């Protein structure tokens, strides 16, 4: 597989690992999303000044307002964080 295909596979596997531990298997609940962020993006949570910022992030990801994050919403979050990290790296 190419690097991009591998990256796509990792995104899918990561989502599937955390989705469905409670409730629906095709979405991340608030608790599942928090667990995923703690384990997969710990620096993001450490950078947040308080829990309200994390809650705001999670709420902002829920585009359809169902109180869960589906795969499309998850991918948008990863893409946005990747763009932010890329911009930061390029500006140094």
Q: Does the structure show a pLDDT above 80 at 6?
A: yes
For the stretch 13-38, pLDDT in tens is 999 999 988 878 999 988 898 899 88
Right CATH for 3-91 from 3.30.499.10, 1.10.238.10, 1.10.760.10, 3.40.50.10470? 1.10.238.10
- How wide is the angle at C-alpha 42 spanned by C-alphas 49 and 73, nearest 5°? 90
For 15-46, give one letter per residue: b (16+ CB within 10 A) or e. beebbeeeeeeebbbbebbbbbbeeeeeebee
**pTM score, whole prediction:** 0.78
Domain extents for the chain?
3-91
- Which position has the token pair 């359809």? 64
Token output for 91: 């500006």
């Amino acid at each position: 597989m190419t690097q991009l295909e591998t990256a796509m596979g990792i995104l899918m596997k990561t989502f599937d690992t955390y989705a469905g531990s409670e409730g629906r298997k095709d979405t991340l609940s608030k608790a599942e999303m928090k667990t995923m962020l703690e384990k997969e993006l710990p620096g993001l949570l450490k950078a947040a000044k308080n829990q309200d910022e994390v809650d705001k992030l999670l709420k902002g990801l829920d585009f359809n307002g169902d109180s869960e994050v589906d795969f499309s919403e998850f991918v948008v979050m990863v893409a946005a964080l990747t763009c932010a990290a890329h911009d930061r790296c390029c500006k140094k």
